Structure 1
């Protein structure tokens, strides 16, 4: 159609006249809660998750996980147990149908089917309802998974004397030795320049080096270690004269002799 001075309007039937861009869908057609997933529903999910995370962190601070003693392969009476969140699998492997010749069934097939069912739950039940009682497949799989994990964990924990286990497996801390360090000894000045940074001012050791109190090395052995290194200690750590090396070794030996007397 022509209007005015040669102006032409052309209509394209491929573009619908009522098309609205970037307008969220009307969620009122869904029964139950009527709100957009982003950002309304997802924001509530994040807030609930944050509350549980803060509560869990507070619980770990108030009741820290107990440490056990160092692993001893010669202790045949020790009963190893997995962490609490794997106790249900530990209990499952006790049953005859999931242990022995059927170990693969209990360790891989049954857990794989269980977690696979939970993973596929949203795809198996794709209804628009949000009420749990109207989502029987998803709700049923979730309840079965929760009941199974809870019961197996309870069964595993009920047969363990946790107080006795904690008492028998307390970590053995090294005995503290109070040794008076003679800072006037010429060997201490050498130690201060060469070893104090790693072994500490009281020869107590640290994260980078072990303690030097309680060792049973002779003067010559200490001199050799200071020059050639040992275990994780690299060689050529000592930079000084032979006289200073002798003073250093005699100083460390004298400290250990004092500690042995006490």
Structure 2
């Protein structure tokens, strides 16, 4: 011990004889934390094993969800399908909607693709360095909490608007999403093959192939999309005309030719430009109304 304030005074450290000095082997031996429950524990293997167990449970849960609900696959990609509306996964819907606005698309597409996302994610990365306060209660951190709440509200709003607009587009264009259409076809096929619960529909054929309307059809614009056999292109959203008379009358078909329907624009003027007359179009509509399955 030292007494007084002399700088050259000798300092003597007095140890406690009750504390046993550890040997080299004891100092190298890891401490057993079991004597201090809830305080600390060895990282390897105790803590790491718990993390692995939690990870395995989460992974098994994800695998169960993946196997219970198959991926909603559509038809094979068709670049000619103008009726297809591309949609990203739900967690990118807010960005998809953001790129629809004038100030983030067109001449400002770089701002929408790089600028705005870079600002948002850059701020997220810098948040731990900018907000260095020790307070953990959110109401005591007004700036950080306000930015977080504003971001959540913005992403939620853009996601909702994007999905609502998609539903409106489907309704206006009379489009059934491909994955839903394929699922319906799959269920219909299983029901038909599962014991005759549903009677197999008779394959439709061209009716009155020698009618004058059939010759006019070969000259009309209908041929380009619906094909010579009237089978259309279902994968591209172009319906078949085989059996169209079962659901549409001559007047209905004439109205579709003149006014269009869904993705199909009015075909009256293009047919007139190709040399057809009003009488020819009338015969064409009459022949298409004759296309019935029974």
TM band (smaller chain): 0.3 to 0.5
Q: Structure 1 length as normaliser, TM-score?
A: 0.43
| TM-score normalised by the chain length of structure 2 | 0.39
Greater relative CO, 1 or 2 (CA 8 Å, sep 6+): 2
